[in-house]
């Protein structure tokens, strides 16, 4: 169905690709959505404060990067709700509203960028597609 994909995909990847009833471009959107759902629903609830936030950001990024077709990812957690360490209860649980995420999916020659961040007008941590680009297909002889 997607002949261009056979150039770079191995057997397992080709098998997976064959399951999709849509274009590579549309699949890239789907893969981007999966990763956004992963970030939100895997990590919301993690206890976090100023001493742990750097490694948590890194850990979310690495967790996304190991998933299929992720080329790049950047996670920033809003530190403005952190409190000074006064006692045993001076930490927060990660919420979706604290997350600022950018993920780049690359399948074959398609590159999709998705973002999640808190949208004040919606009062909602919106996930959306911020960019799509299609590289000129390299010809193979």
Is residue 127 exposed (0-12), middle (13-18) or buried (19+ Cβ within 10 Å)?
Answer: buried
Q: Residue 106 Cβ, how far from a second copy at the closest point, in Å?
A: 11
CA 94 to CA 7: how far, in whole Å? 41
Structure tokens of 47?
């206890």
Q: Residue 46 Cβ, how far from a second copy at the closest point, in Å?
A: 5
Q: At what angle do helices 24-43 and 53-65 cross, to 10 degrees?
A: 150
Q: CA 56 from chain center: how many Å?
A: 15
3-state secondary structure 19-46: CCCCCHHHHHHHHHHHHHHHHHHHHCCC
Adjacent-strand bridge partners of 117: 126
Nearer to a second copy (CB atom), residue 18 or residue 137 = 18
Q: Residue 71 Cβ, how far from a second copy at the closest point, in Å?
A: 11
Nearer to a second copy (CB atom), residue 10 or residue 139 = 10
Q: Residue 25 Cβ, how far from a second copy at the closest point, in Å?
A: 7
Question: What are the residues binding a second copy (CB under 8 A)?
Answer: 9-10, 12-13, 15-16, 19-22, 25-27, 29-38, 40-42, 44-49, 51-52, 55-56, 58-59, 62-69, 86-89, 91, 93, 95-96, 114, 119, 121-122, 124, 126-132
Nearer to a second copy (CB atom), residue 7 or residue 55 = 55
Nearer to a second copy (CB atom), residue 130 or residue 137 = 130
Nearer to a second copy (CB atom), residue 54 or residue 137 = 54
């Amino acid at each position: 169905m997607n002949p261009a994909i056979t150039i770079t995909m191995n057997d397992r990847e080709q098998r997976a690709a064959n399951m999709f009833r849509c274009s590579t471009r549309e699949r890239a959107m789907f893969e981007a959505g999966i990763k956004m759902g992963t970030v939100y629903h895997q990590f919301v609830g993690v206890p976090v404060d100023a001493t742990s936030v750097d490694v948590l950001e890194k850990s979310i990024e690495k967790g996304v990067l190991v998933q299929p077709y992720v080329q790049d990812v950047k996670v920033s957690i809003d530190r403005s709700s952190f409190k000074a360490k006064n006692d045993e209860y001076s930490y927060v649980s990660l919420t979706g509203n604290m997350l600022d995420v950018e993920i780049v999916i690359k399948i074959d020659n398609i590159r999709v960028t998705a973002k999640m961040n808190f949208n004040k007008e919606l009062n909602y941590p919106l996930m959306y597609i911020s960019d799509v680009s299609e590289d000129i297909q390299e010809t193979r002889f």
